[in-house]
Structure 1
Amino acid sequence: MLRRPLPDVSQPARRLVGLLLEKDTVRQPYALLAVAGLADEATLRAAVERLSQDVGPIVADEIAVIAALGRAERARLSEIDRSDRFSSPPPSLTDAWRGAAETAAYVAFARRALGAAADRTDAIRAGEIPYRADKAFTDREVVSLGQAARVALLRDEPWLPELFDRLLPGVAIAPTPARTVPSQALLYELVRAAQDFPTPELVTAIRTVRGNVRHAGVPKQLDKMLKKVEAALAERTDVALRLPRLGFGDDGVLRRKAGDYEAVVTVAENATLSWEKDGRPLRSLPAPVRRDHAALVKELRELVKRVNAQLVTLARALEGGFTVDAVHPYGWWRAELAGHPQARTLVRRLIWEIEVAPGEWQAVLPEAGDLPDAPDDAAVRLWHPLRCGPDSVRAWRDLLSERRIRQPFKQAFREIYFLTPAEEETRVYSNRFAAHLVHYRRMFALLRARGWTSGRVGPWDDGDGDAAERTLAAGEWQVRFLHTWYDWADGDELASTDQVRFARRGDGAWREATLADVPPLVFSEAMRDIDLFVGVTSIAADPDWTDAGPGRTYWERAGFAELTESAASRRDALERIVPRLKIADRCSLDGRFLVVRGDLRTYRIHLGSANILMEPDGSYLCVVPDRDKRDKGDGRVFLPFEDDRLSLILSKAFLLAADTRITDGSILAQITRS
């Protein structure tokens, strides 16, 4: 078959480039260079000259590198070019980023550019360059450095951790006591790069900077962005579980001399710094150390922050790996996770499955016993209750409760969600969490905190509905949670929840999938998130809801409804907790309620909403919790997992069991009312 020659596009390309170069601002320079290369060398040189004017050495270097590439490489780079520095490239551009990461000349530029940026912030800190708030880098430099960072992160370059340890503080912390930053734009751009291609070292560096930055608004913004970074890191299983040892011994202890004293950094559930003299622990930082070893004290305090940031990152990455069903070699896991000086105490409190023979998995809790003999190449994965029967789940929950082992995230008590007959009927969508009224601003914040993306809804054109989205299983699956604007209530915004739908990636696009085709772990973990959104933000959990109308009808129905999976898990925990309480003889579980016998009344606390009904007439008791003073009895109640609603239920139980000692007039008036 004869191949026809390609048409000559040099003349229209030359004309287009000429028109673009006449503009005051040239947008998408990569694309411009790609078009200029289709014209002739003179046009390409003119484009390079124009794009290199007044942009600084970093951008000028980038332009020169791109101009020297072949046509195909320039065209490939033009796919990642963007002028909007406030949003990350869509996931569909991952292949284009891989192309950039395979272009040797651009990879070399990325290292030079990021190194030059770190050198500049070092010079600002040293006073060699005058400090001006938010002026360390130009807008165009921010875009170029963000793209350089993405290429280096995608390649997981070994020189990146040390460089980011210089660059991130350099752009985030002023060299003066001022509450400003050298470049807020580059700080956020680097975090957006981490959202696209995260590494554990960068996440730790961001967390460390977040704890030190003095600008009032930056920590809150970083907290929001970090949620997306951590969700993305959990999906990048090839790098997610990598931790540096930082000089700690195998026992998780690091010791440093400071004159006659010794600093001791110990990693247990978290990292702590203490001081000793002649082997005796001291209550506080010794005055001579504070005076003579201030630099060491600062270094060790920073180390504690960094280790704690690493532990948070590791826990999030492990939990997020459930949908990937991540598997590790036993030898590596034993040395780099279970035996790692910082990770070991976290890892040992989780249940793991080891493939001791082909297809035969043995579940172990390292904290409770020895590890089995298995070859180094045997597979290891996190245990999930979805994969085993109720008796096994019950046994693990009993063991954790008896040994008072608090897991770093909810695992043994984790809720599981199976496809229901109703969902088999609807095939492509679930109504399981539809028709709930929620406090919209709370739910929007929680969506972002859990790594979901969502636009705002509200009473404006095209603002009545949206679908919150999250990708799972290393980007292969997408879940969508539909919700609509509902109304205002006492100055608060309400939304109504709707369907849940799933899609699978195929041929570079999302294809809607039937619920039956969704992998069980992906389905369960996605529905668990949505159960959390509804359970935490529903107006049914608002103890002082007083609005009338449809909202009140929903509140009365949902506030005492049948238990969801999350509430059922709470009930299972209470079955183990209540017998150990000082008020055990006054408490019992009855279906979806914790029944508490006081001296004035008997109370029924709903295990989903924590709302209270009083016997014998079933009247409602409003108890608004003091979030700063949640009484948990004697302060020694062991909770096998962190759950605010569980803590609230227990605090109400202790309050009502001693109802004759209640001093709050509004509560007493309700209890004693005829």
Structure 2
Amino acid sequence: MSAQQHATALRQALAAGDTAAAIEAADGMVRAALSSRKWNYDFTDAWFRSLYELPAEVRRPVAERVAATLAELPADRELVEVGFDPATALTLLSHGLADDRFEAARDWLLRAAGHHFVIGHLWGVETVVATETSAGRSVPPEATAAFRRTALNRSWVPDGTRAVLTRLTDPPLNVGEAWADAALAAVTGPDDPWLALLRHLTTATTAKPSAGWEETARALADAAGPERMRDLVVALLRQVGRPRTLPLTVGAYRTANDLFDAHNATPLRGLAWLASLLPPDRDTVRALGALVETSLRKVPGVGPRSPKVANAGVVALSRIDGEAALAELARLAARVTYKATAKLIDSVLGDRAAALGLGREEVEELAVPTYGLTSVGAATGQLGEATALLAVSGVKATLSWRTAAGKQVKGVPAAVRRDHPDELAELRASVKDLDKMLAAQRDRLDRQFLARRTWPAGAWRQRLLDHPLVGTLARRLLWTVDGTAVGFADGAPRTLDDTPVTPAPDAEVTLWHPADRDPAEVAAWRDWLERHAVTQPFKQAHREVYLLTDTERATGTYSNRFAAHILRQHQFHSLAAVRGWRNRLRLAVDDTLPPAVRELPEWGLRAEYWIHGDSADHGADDITDSGSFLRLRTDQVRFYPLDAPENLAHCDGRWPYEMWLRDGAEPVEPLPLAEIPPLVLSEVLRDVDLFVGVASVGNDPTWQDGGPGGRHREYWTSYGFGELNATAKTRRALLERLVPRLAIADRCTLEGRFLLVKGERHTYKIHLGSGNVLISPSDRYLCIVPTSRSAAEQPPGYLPYEGDHTLAVILSKAMLLARDTEITDRTILSQL
């Protein structure tokens, strides 16, 4: 009999007063549920309720049979979908019946439920919670956490269930996250003001704290002790984002263990606000900045962990007075790419700028701290008899020591660790802060080409050239001072012939760009940098310049230079955000989206890169679990006026881009490429070239088979070993000067698109664009997957610029293959 047939028989037996028949029918209902391995529409809320509402004389014998079945199951079995589980059935049947077996089953069910991200069906949960609370027993905190998550995750929850869950007020935080567990462990008793404060944090349900919320928080913090609260709050904020202390069984929600607990996100927002109300401290600022970045860390298929927590961190920083908080906001402004949070940071800095009567960029520059540096890139500090030596090299700070005897060592002297632990901890924290700020300032300076930024020479020297931190970057760049190009060497700005330049305080200074210069001058400055051993923080003198081609003059309003590529979508999406482009992930849905867009308000322009999701048939090999395309197909690059209506196209490209016209608006034609300022054209095309160069599947050494169905094999071959793009040509020119200085120079030769490396076993051809390798003379492909370390390491010897990861990969492969008899990697050896 089916479940519904048993239910019908049960109703008939109850109507006839036949207890024995009712017991048999109820037993049949339960056995039908327990034997089902998937959802059955017979099992409705009314079906479950009919078990719960049975007379006690019917429920008891059926419950005893279920208890006997439950006792025979393995102790370590996983919780089945609630509503099909023996323990749930037992709970529905045994309420109000005294039996140790019944209570043990209910306890097992609750603890098992607590290991799940969400509970599949809440009917049994409602019953078990009501049974336990009415009997005066507490619900395990992990179960409470699961019930709360389920209610937040479900679009609809029955009123009765929600009413039951509202009674679960303890603990105020969901257990299972490191910071929440530590917060609960810090409660000393029921009268501890910290407990009252935790309850208050759960009311942080608005975007910003109200005056009333803040007043209550201050009063509770004062009662708990402001200094104690500050130390505790900072310690808790530092633990946000650590691995869960209670890993969850996630089912279909595969990324649940990487997310913030949805219930805890609200009190975490309150915790950030609370930090801004406590006595100011540098550690508080650091912890809030880290909270913003941790909250915006992306989870595959989901996106940022918790933008609302990130925004709370920004709000908290905006309410803290002092240079440290402003500096942290300025650092975040250069690092955050999530649109809503970036917009909030921009608004906060804009408000600060208005209050100070300064420009937005000026506030960012003035906010950069020195982190204890007393001269450009260096500082010393005394800790007892030892001297700490802080120095900046590239975009990294290093800390070394000089003992009382004058000997310089890398390790921390024992006396410093013993006698000055607090000062040592602060010094190490400052080094980490310095590294983060250096990277942020490097990226900010790299974006100034399109920002049309100019400085009076006095401000330029103060905020950039002579600033102890920013100066380590600015002194490695080229500038124009009232039209005269200068670089910094031997303590002064100098021209190409090394003549010192002392500009007037009001002289106009801009960043030098090769697009504005004669090729002979560009070559001369490259020689100057090498002569003075200057390694630039990013490509400037060696920056690729993208000139209009004859083909682009023929097409007129669009460039196909970077069309017909296959890119890894998520890598492209992240890189586009870093470079200031606005983009949305293409999903395998019936929807339209705009192209990737770079807005250039200083020029009144909008650049577009047309892209589409790549899939032959929306197969599993082309789409993530969350429904986004794994790869993109690329198309044209176009320019429009900044205020032109946006273009839209279907996510998978089945419908081409068309301008979306509203309220009777007229279509706006794309601008002729010949009318785009050369610097703008070059920088935009350079960005697009970067997207292709980094995200193309042609760079992936594991894609020799062409990916799903082999349909991209021809593309992989043509890209991985084809003609060099502008970036690769720059790399080749550099290698012409670099290879003769290598230890393996006698084994290396540059030929066309390749670096040839002569090993003992074979001769190898490394493509200068992709880094892919062929074995000569048969051009057999050699798959070498670079490690993240090899891509991050700076190649040996002098380099004129930093940041070319493909160059690092090429050189690491060359070093490996030149000594191919020493290779121990079995994967590589099997191909040789």
Asked if 1:502 corresponds to 2:628, the answer is: no
Once the two structures are superposed, what CA deviation does each residue of 1:248-288 show, in whole Å capped at 9, x if it has no partner?
Answer: 42355444443333434334534333333435434422333
Q: Percent identity?
A: 36
Asked if 1:308 corresponds to 2:431, the answer is: no
TM-score between the two structures when normalised by the length of structure 1: 0.66
TM-aligned CA deviation for residue 194 of structure 1: 9.9
TM-score between the two structures when normalised by the length of structure 2: 0.55
Q: Distance in 2 between matches of 1:203 and 1:411?
A: 29
Change (3 A) 1:111 1:591: farther
Asked if 1:366 corresponds to 2:456, the answer is: no
Asked if 1:295 corresponds to 2:410, the answer is: no
RMSD: 4.9
TM-aligned CA deviation for residue 485 of structure 1: 0.9
**In the alignment, what sits opposite 1:538?**
696
Q: Distance in 1 between matches of 2:606 and 2:440?
A: 23
Q: Distance in 1 between matches of 2:506 and 2:216?
A: 42
TM-aligned CA deviation for residue 323 of structure 1: 0.6
Change (3 A) 1:203 1:551: farther
Change (3 A) 1:274 1:336: same
The one-letter amino acid paired with 1:169 is: A
**In the alignment, what sits opposite 1:169?**
287
Q: Distance in 2 between matches of 1:661 and 1:362?
A: 49
Q: Distance in 1 between matches of 2:316 and 2:609?
A: 26
1:189-588 residue pairs with structure 2 within 5 A?
Answer: 189-191=312-314, 204-205=327-328, 236-242=360-366, 243-245=368-370, 248-250=373-375, 252-269=377-394, 270-278=396-404, 279-355=406-482, 360-366=483-489, 370=494, 371-462=500-591, 466-472=594-600, 474=602, 476-487=604-615, 490=621, 493-506=630-643, 512-545=670-703, 546-547=705-706, 548-588=709-749
Q: Distance in 2 between matches of 1:449 and 1:192?
A: 23
Greater alpha carbon shift after TM alignment, 280-289 vs 494-503: 280-289
**In the alignment, what sits opposite 2:156?**
none
Greater alpha carbon shift after TM alignment, 246-255 vs 436-445: 246-255
Q: Distance in 2 between matches of 1:481 and 1:390?
A: 29
Task: Describe the SS at the equivalent of 1:364.
Answer: strand
Q: Distance in 1 between matches of 2:440 and 2:398?
A: 17
Asked if the contact 2:476/2:536 (under 8 Å) is kept, the reply is yes
Q: Distance in 2 between matches of 1:124 and 1:428?
A: 66
Once the two structures are superposed, what CA deviation does each residue of 1:482-518 show, in whole Å capped at 9, x if it has no partner?
Answer: 2111126856722111122223335999965332332
Asked if the contact 1:260/1:277 (under 8 Å) is kept, the reply is yes
Match of 1:625 among 747, 767, 786: 786
Unpaired stretches in structure 2, ≥5 consecutive residues? 1-199, 241-260, 293-305, 351-358, 495-499, 624-629, 648-667
Q: Distance in 1 between matches of 2:810 and 2:736?
A: 13
Asked if the contact 2:288/2:316 (under 8 Å) is kept, the reply is no
Change (3 A) 1:112 1:268: farther
Q: Distance in 2 between matches of 1:327 and 1:504?
A: 24
Change (3 A) 1:544 1:246: closer
Unpaired stretches in structure 1, ≥5 consecutive residues? 1-55, 61-82, 87-108, 150-161, 175-182, 211-220
Asked if the contact 1:573/1:640 (under 8 Å) is kept, the reply is no
Q: Distance in 1 between matches of 2:726 and 2:713?
A: 24
Count of aligned positions: 533
Once the two structures are superposed, what CA deviation does each residue of 1:210-257 show, in whole Å capped at 9, x if it has no partner?
Answer: 9xxxxxxxxxx9686799689979995333432334554235544444
TM-aligned CA deviation for residue 184 of structure 1: 7.6
The one-letter amino acid paired with 1:349 is: R
Change (3 A) 1:373 1:628: closer
Change (3 A) 1:518 1:638: closer
TM-aligned CA deviation for residue 572 of structure 1: 1.4
The one-letter amino acid paired with 2:579 is: R
- Relative contact order, higher structure (CA 8 A, sep 6+): 1
Task: Describe the SS at the equivalent of 1:322.
Answer: helix
Change (3 A) 1:594 1:433: same
Q: Distance in 2 between matches of 1:111 and 1:248?
A: 40
Once the two structures are superposed, what CA deviation does each residue of 1:306-332 show, in whole Å capped at 9, x if it has no partner?
Answer: 333332222122110001232211222
Asked if 1:594 corresponds to 2:731, the answer is: no
Q: Distance in 2 between matches of 1:551 and 1:229?
A: 39
Change (3 A) 1:634 1:376: closer
Q: Distance in 2 between matches of 1:118 and 1:271?
A: 38
The one-letter amino acid paired with 2:383 is: A
Asked if the contact 1:457/1:466 (under 8 Å) is kept, the reply is no
Task: Describe the SS at the equivalent of 1:570.
Answer: helix
Asked if the contact 1:482/1:499 (under 8 Å) is kept, the reply is yes
Asked if the contact 2:327/2:369 (under 8 Å) is kept, the reply is no
TM-aligned CA deviation for residue 533 of structure 1: 1.0
